[in-house]
Amino acid sequence: MKTVNEFKKLKSQSKKISMVTCYDYWSAKIIDESDIDAVLVGDSAAMVMHGFETTINAEIEMMCYHTAAVKRGLKNKLLISDLPFLSNRKGISFLMESIDKLMKAGAQAVKIEGADDNLELIQYVINSGIPVMGHIGLTPQFVHQFGGYKLQGKDEKAAEKFLDDAKKLEDAGCFAIVLEMMPSELSAKITKELSIPTIGIGAGPFTDGQILVLQDLLGMSKDFQPKFLRKYLNGFELILNSLNKFNDDVKNQNYPNKEESY
């Protein structure tokens, strides 16, 4: 998929949407040749690529750096980038300057966490010609308010609020909404009531699409195993074994051999 317009088209055809995060050039090149529909340069880059404990440490410079690297490897897929922590809370000029930098780095759309008083800003951004993806449920930039990475929307009041937020984000003009860590029943209801696609993570099987952090999907961390995560590769072990094999070959003078030498 190359444009945001295709998101709605896929939903109208009842076709599921697959997304992964990406933060670097060589992963982007592999994803570009895959069947994955679209790519997010998530602010999870702060955690996955830089080892911070939350996404709060993502800065616009960091997001632009990763967006530009991904863009160089991604020629055939839609590229969405996250607006980092507080960039929508420091005034409209700060927000627009941040978006300007992200778009010039190669993003075709931006993702903004939360609804409420963001709605007016989101509308302004969309009216400026920038496609916006919403994000509700467990919005990681609110982690300290939530008291951890916990399932959201469990009681009726919270569920109603998320449904209302989703409708308002659709009305504001978002082209899709990420639903993170909420009961399947709630994400199913939101998905049914919206005409724009929902992309789930830890939100069950009934959303219009799914997104996973690339390194999670590839099993790069041996300890990180939330219930929702299916690991499609044991990346940690495969890489560890390859490194140890190289080390053995070097130490045992098995590498390089004659064919590998000039």
* CB-count burial class (<10 Å; 0-12, 13-18, 19+) for 201: buried
Pairing relationship of beta strands 109-113 and 209-212 according to DSSP bridges = unpaired
Q: Which residues are catalytic?
A: 180
Q: How far is the CB of 201 from ligand KIV (least distance, A)?
A: 5
Residue of 37, 43, 170, 208 that binds ligand KIV (CB under 6 A): 43
- Rounded to 5 degrees, φ, ψ at 83 are -80, 125
Q: How far is the CB of 252 from ligand KIV (least distance, A)?
A: 41
To the nearest 10 degrees (0 to 180), the angle between helices 119-127 and 92-105 is: 50
The smaller minimum CB distance to ligand KIV, of residues 56 and 172, is found at 56
| Helix extents (H) in the chain | 5-12, 25-32, 45-48, 60-73, 92-105, 119-127, 143-146, 156-172, 184-193, 214-217, 235-251
Which residue's C-beta sits nearest to ligand KIV? 42
Residues 75-134 that bind ligand KIV (CB under 6 A): 82
User: Binding-site residue total for ligand KIV (CB under 6 A)?
Assistant: 11
CB of 223 to ligand KIV, least distance (A): 18
Q: Tell me how far apart the alpha carbons of residues 71 and 83 are, in angstroms, rounded to a whole number.
A: 16
Instruction: Write the Ramachandran bin of 113: left for phi over 0, alpha for psi from -120 to 50, otherwise beta.
Output: beta
Site residues for ligand KIV, 20-39, by CB under 6 A, read 21
Pick from 1, 27, 44, 87 the residue near ligand KIV by CB under 6 A.
44
Give the strand pairing for 132-137 and 176-180: parallel
Amino acid of residue 202? G
Choice between 43 and 170, CB closer to ligand KIV: 43
Q: Looking at beta carbons only, is 57 or 255 nearer to ligand KIV?
A: 57
Min CB(82)–ligand KIV separation in Å: 5
The pairing of beta strand 132-137 with beta strand 38-41:
unpaired
Instruction: Tell the smallest beta-carbon distance from residue 254 to ligand KIV (Å).
Output: 40
Q: Which string of x and - marks every residue 177-216 that binds ligand KIV (by CB under 6 A)?
A: -x-x--------------------x---------x-x---
Q: Which residues are near ligand KIV by CB under 6 A?
A: 21, 40, 42-44, 82, 178, 180, 201, 211, 213
